[in-house]
Amino acid sequence: MTTLLLIEQVLNGLQSGIMLFLMAAGLTLIFGVMGLINLAHGSLYMIGAFAAAAVAGATGSFALALMASLAAAAAAGAIVEVTVIRRLYDRDHLDQVLATFALILIFSEGTRWLFGSFPLYLDVPAAFAGPVTLPGGIQYPAYRLLIIAVGLAVAVGLFLLIARTRIGIQIRAGESDREMIGALGVDISRLYTIVFALGAALAGLAGALVGAIQSVQVGMGEPVLILAFVVIVIGGIGSIKGALIGALLVGLTDTLGGVLLPLAFGLFLDPATATSIGSSLASMAIYILMAVVLIYRPTGLYGVAT
């Protein structure tokens, strides 16, 4: 394998990590602040992608499509929080899992009812359609660079929001002692709705960005949801920084594992066996990573022991 190919694969790993971060950030915020396991986070991702595909189809504008995805996912998140999720904060995790699993089914069949069973069309904007040549002669799709840029901007924005703003202070306070900030006069239920809508909007944005290079179809959110849970377990539940580091680790492990493991086995096995064993082991790589992290840091890389 040449150095150029390796660099390209590292970029691919970073980009896949950034996409995961957009999903995991919302999930970890919701889990950290409200203590809620939200299985329906993947459905919000799907709503973002479908809203973007519908708006892009009607107007032809990708920028409007992105805004629509943010708005639709945030609105869906806020509605779900007020009608369903709010009743679950005091229940145990099993009840939350059951209720949010039901939400997945409702959202999936509802989306099918609205948009039909066939995948929708959503393409990358023309300005980012082709590859660009990076220093060193690497050809890399412009749209993937855009995803990296948007993801990093969101990460910086979230850090500033949590660290520097009043609502960020309330969120951090809510994480550590929800009774106390209620007693101090912060409207806790409004705060929860805002946090949930924020997490939902991030998932919707991820869905729209990713939908343009993947398939916009019912059930698209669930595979990403599993990876996002792996990310927040590795990064430490409730930590945005952990979500970023965890997402990058998972993205890199997944991408490089898939490329390097078959090659590594190829050194001492025949090609067919090496490919088959390497591919199988590569699909396990991120779970092995998670297990190793949990052995040494049971609360995740940046998790706080409770």
Partner 1 sequence: MRIRNMMALAVCMAAAATAGLADGHGGKIKVGMITTLSGGGAGLGIDVRDGFLLATKGSDVIETVIEDDQRKPDIAVGLADKLIQSEKVDVLTGIIWSNLAMAVVPSATAQGKFYLSPNAGPSALAGRGCSPNYFNVSWQNDAFSEAAGAYLSNEGVGKVFLMAPNYPAGQDMMAGFKRFFKGEVTDEVYTQLGQTDYAAEIAQIRASDADQVYFFLPGGMGISFMKQYAGSGVDKPVAGPAFSFDQGILGAIGEAALGVKNTAHWSKDLDVPGNADFVAAFQAEYGRLPSLYAAQGYDTGLLLLSAAAKAEVSDADAFRAALKEAEFQSVRGDFAFADNHHPIQTIYMREVVKEGDVVTNKMIGVAATDHTDVYGADCKM
Contact 247, 5 (CB under 8 A): no
Find the binder of partner 1 among 101, 121, 153, 294 (CB under 8 A). Answer: 121
Contacts to partner 1 from residues 38-57, by CB under 8 A? none
- Among 35, 16, 110, CA closest to 72: 110
Interacting span for partner 1 (CB under 8 A) from 89-97, 174-182, 233-241, 273-281: 273-281
Task: Number of residues interacting with partner 1: please give it, by CB under 8 A.
Answer: 52
129 binds partner 1 (CB under 8 A): yes
Distance CA 108, CA 244 (A): 28
Interacting span for partner 1 (CB under 8 A) from 174-182, 201-209, 229-237, 276-284: 276-284
Find the binder of partner 1 among 127, 130, 292, 294 (CB under 8 A). Answer: 130
96 DSSP assignment:
H
Distance CA 157, CA 183 (A): 29
212 binds partner 1 (CB under 8 A): yes
Interacting span for partner 1 (CB under 8 A) from 141-149, 150-158, 191-199, 287-295: 141-149
Q: How far is the CB of 257 from partner 1 (least distance, A)?
A: 9
- In a 3-state reduction of DSSP, which class is residue 97? helix
Find the binder of partner 1 among 59, 93, 127, 139 (CB under 8 A). Answer: 139
- Among 224, 240, 223, CA closest to 232: 240
- Among 244, 230, 238, CA closest to 178: 238
CB atoms within 10 A of CB 266: 15
Q: How far is the CB of 39 from partner 1 (least distance, A)?
A: 16
Q: How far is the CB of 60 from partner 1 (least distance, A)?
A: 13
CB atoms within 10 A of CB 164: 9
Contact 36, 30 (CB under 8 A): yes
Contacts to partner 1 from residues 152-211, by CB under 8 A? 210
Contact 42, 225 (CB under 8 A): yes
Distance CA 305, CA 202 (A): 27
Distance CA 72, CA 184 (A): 33
Contacts to partner 1 from residues 91-110, by CB under 8 A? 108-109
Q: How far is the CB of 197 from partner 1 (least distance, A)?
A: 26
143 binds partner 1 (CB under 8 A): yes
Q: What residues line the site for partner 1 (CB under 8 A)?
A: 1-2, 5, 8-9, 12-13, 15-16, 19, 108-109, 112, 117-121, 123-124, 129-131, 139, 141-144, 210, 212-220, 223-224, 255, 258-259, 262, 271-272, 275-276, 279-280, 282-283
